Amino acid sequence: MKETTRVNHPPAVELAADNHSVVAPIYQSVKFEFDSLDETERFFRGERPGFFYTRTSNPTTRQLELLLAELQGRDDCLACASGVGAISQTLLALTKQGDHIICFVETYNPTRYLIRRLLARFGVTHTMLSIEDTAGVEKALAAHKTRLVMFESPTNPVTKIADIAALTRMARSAGALTIMDNTFAGFHQHGQFEVDLFVHSLTKYASGAGDVMGGAVIGRTELIRSIRTDWGMLGGTLDPHAAFLILRGLKTYFVRYEAQCANAMRIAQVLAVHPAVSRVHYPGLPTHPQHELAKAQMKQFGTIVSFDLQAGADAGARFAGALKLFALTASLGSTESLVVAPSMMGGRDLTQDQLRVSAVTEGTVRLSIGLEDVDDLTEDVNQALAVSSPST
């Protein structure tokens, strides 16, 4: 074999049957082959397992999918390149012209865009309500043959809590599927409810380090199977190396989430007694209007603490600018703490009445609490509050 051939066909290294890699290898390959055409054709007919093309499936990505499904308490999972990709690919795979979706004001802005703008162009209609309006959901289900009910809990950014049991019960009675964006709560929460599909941004708690993007949809086998072909054709493939990094991040998922929730509770308690703060949105506080519902549904209350500054948007800008340990940027769930200032909040697509329902004010600030020492975080928050409202 000449050298120009050898570099394209390097020597194979195979482990013995009793010799195992402790960390699974990264299958950084687009293509896979079988030993014969007959076996290849058997694979295409669904008569044998295997892998052929990474856009459809890959061993590293598949390991991630199986782990996520198990964590969420479901049968199967599909991973893709981003959290928004998971939402869009799921919505596109499950809807057609003439379908109706019930969605909510208190929802991630890209989700609202996908339902209200993108799907609307293809003849999918929607009703948008408040997540607190369960009576309105029942009326909408009675008035419209509904395909999907799409919601999240805790909501972004002010951590309202959905009554998951009520939503899933009403949707199921009306023949509608439920899709829950479970990113804020994490993979270990809400699996006890009859949610048909969970979507997650793997960019957040799964990775934990803020250095890789990914998304996933998780559900029962037959429902995942029904959207698998569409997902592959839409092409939002998760790269195997990204899947490996997310698998690595998941090894510390539980210890990170628990520690970050403990830090978040401390920060929420500090904010709750500060005179510059008019309201704290954290479901772990007894003052949260849905605290009892959160206690009944959740194991931990999450790492997002939002609050309203009495002095409004200018104070929010000063607060965010004065922080030293919080990065002024998007996303959440990573090991470092983050802040979103009032001017960075979504909501420009909402009417004044919808903005009121959303509970996002001119002085609303969102904090994603990380793994720094909680005393350092508390000191930083207090000094930033002093800068934001010097007269307080």
Q: What is the pLDDT of residues 40-60, one digit of tens each?
A: 999 999 999 999 999 999 999
Position 374 scores a pLDDT of 98
> Does 314 map to a domain?
yes
For all residues of the chain together, what is the average pLDDT?
96
205 and 259 part of one domain: no
Q: What average pLDDT score do residues 77-88 get?
A: 98
> Does 156 map to a domain?
yes
225 and 278 part of one domain: no
41 and 119 part of one domain: yes
Separation between Cα atoms, residue 285 and residue 265, nearest integer Å: 8
221 and 283 part of one domain: no
3-state SS, residue 327: strand
Res 104 pLDDT > 60: yes
Position 347 scores a pLDDT of 75
Separation between Cα atoms, residue 223 and residue 243, nearest integer Å: 23
pLDDT-derived band at 72, boundaries 50, 70, 90:
very high
Q: What average pLDDT score do residues 80-102 get?
A: 98
C-beta separation of 161 from 141 below 8 A? no
Separation between Cα atoms, residue 129 and residue 163, nearest integer Å: 14
> Does 3 map to a domain?
no
C-beta separation of 66 from 24 below 8 A? no
117 and 231 part of one domain: yes
Separation between Cα atoms, residue 116 and residue 126, nearest integer Å: 7
Structural domain span for residue 130: 37-250
H or E element at residue 375? helix 374-388
Which one-letter DSSP state was computed for residue 104?
E
Cβ-proximal residues to 376 (8 Å cutoff; 6+ apart), any chain: 325
Last residue of a domain, one of 219, 250, 281: 250
Res 342 pLDDT > 90: no
377 and 279 part of one domain: yes
The 10s digit of each residue's pLDDT in 199-223 is 999 999 999 999 999 999 999 999 9
Position 343 scores a pLDDT of 84
Last residue of a domain, one of 216, 250, 284: 250
What backbone phi and psi angles, to 5 degrees, belong to 127? -120, 125
Could you tell me the CATH number of the domain that includes residue 75? 3.40.640.10
221 and 322 part of one domain: no
C-beta separation of 72 from 205 below 8 A? no
- Angle at the Cα of 357 from the Cα atoms of 352 and 363, rounded to 5 degrees: 75
Res 390 pLDDT > 80: no
Position 69 scores a pLDDT of 98
C-beta separation of 104 from 341 below 8 A? no
264 and 233 part of one domain: no
Could you tell me the CATH number of the domain that includes residue 346? 3.90.1150.10
Res 345 pLDDT > 90: no
Res 392 pLDDT > 60: no
Which stretches of 14-153 are assigned E, i.e. beta strand? Answer: 76-80, 100-104, 125-129, 148-152
Separation between Cα atoms, residue 245 and residue 64, nearest integer Å: 10
- Percentage of the chain beyond pLDDT 70 is 99
> Does 2 map to a domain?
no
Res 271 pLDDT > 80: yes
> Does 1 map to a domain?
no
97 and 242 part of one domain: yes
- The pTM of the full predicted model, rounded to 2 decimals, is 0.95
Res 349 pLDDT > 90: no
Q: Nearest to residue 289, comparing CAs of 102, 130, 103, 108?
A: 130
Position 391 scores a pLDDT of 64
Radius of gyration of the chain (CA): 23
> Does 99 map to a domain?
yes
206 and 275 part of one domain: no
The burial class, CB within 10 Å (0-12 / 13-18 / 19+), for 39 is middle
62 and 210 part of one domain: yes
Please give the span between the terminal C-alpha atoms of the chain, in angstroms, as a whole number. 80
Position 7 scores a pLDDT of 83
The 10s digit of each residue's pLDDT in 281-292 is 999 999 999 999
Res 26 pLDDT > 90: yes
How many domains, in total, are found in the chain?
2
Q: What average pLDDT score do residues 57-75 get?
A: 97
Q: What average pLDDT score do residues 20-44 get?
A: 96
Res 346 pLDDT > 80: no
Last residue of a domain, one of 250, 273, 295: 250
- Percentage of the chain beyond pLDDT 90 is 95
288 and 384 part of one domain: yes
> Does 382 map to a domain?
yes
